[in-house]
Amino acid sequence: MQKIVTFLWFNKNAEEAARFYTSLFKDSQVLAITRYGEGGPGAKGSVMTCDFQLAGQKFTALNGGPQFPFTEAISLSVNCDTQAEIDDLWNKLTADGGKPVACGWLKDRFGLFWQIVPSVLPELLNASDPERSNRVMQAVQNMVKLDLAALKQAAEGR
pTM listed for this prediction: 0.94
At residue 127, does pLDDT exceed 80? no
Closest CA to 6 of 87, 61, 70, 66: 61
Q: Report CA-CA distances (Å) from 130 to 58, 127, 141, 142, 156.
A: 37, 7, 16, 18, 12
Same fold, 1-67 and 70-158: no
Domain regions of the chain by residue span: 1-67, 70-158
**Confidence check: pLDDT of 134 > 90:** yes
- CATH code assigned to 1-67: 3.30.720.100
Strands in the chain per DSSP E: 6-10, 29-35, 47-54, 57-63, 75-80, 99-100, 105-107, 113-118
pLDDT of residue 41: 86
Q: What is the pLDDT of residues 47-102, one digit of tens each?
A: 999 999 999 999 999 999 999 999 999 999 999 999 999 999 999 999 999 999 99
Which percentage of the chain shows pLDDT scores above 90?
A: 92
- pLDDT over threshold 90, residue 29: yes
Do residues 28 and 17 lie in contact, with contact meaning Cβ atoms separated by under 8 Å? no
| Mean model confidence pLDDT for the chain | 96
* pLDDT tens sequence across 102-121: 999 999 999 999 999 999 99
In contact, 99 and 47? CB cutoff 8 Å:
no
Q: How many CA atoms lie within 13 A of 3 on its CB side?
A: 0
Q: What is the pLDDT of residue 13?
A: 96
- The architecture that CATH gives domain 70-158 is Roll (3.10)
User: Which pLDDT band holds residue 34 (cuts at 50, 70, 90)?
Assistant: very high
Closest listed residue to residue 116, CA positions, set 75, 80, 147, 70: 80
| More confident of the two residues 126 and 87 | 87
Is 80 exceeded by the pLDDT of residue 136?
yes
**Using CA atoms, how far apart are residues 53 and 60, in angstroms rounded to an integer?**
9
128 pLDDT above the threshold of 90: no
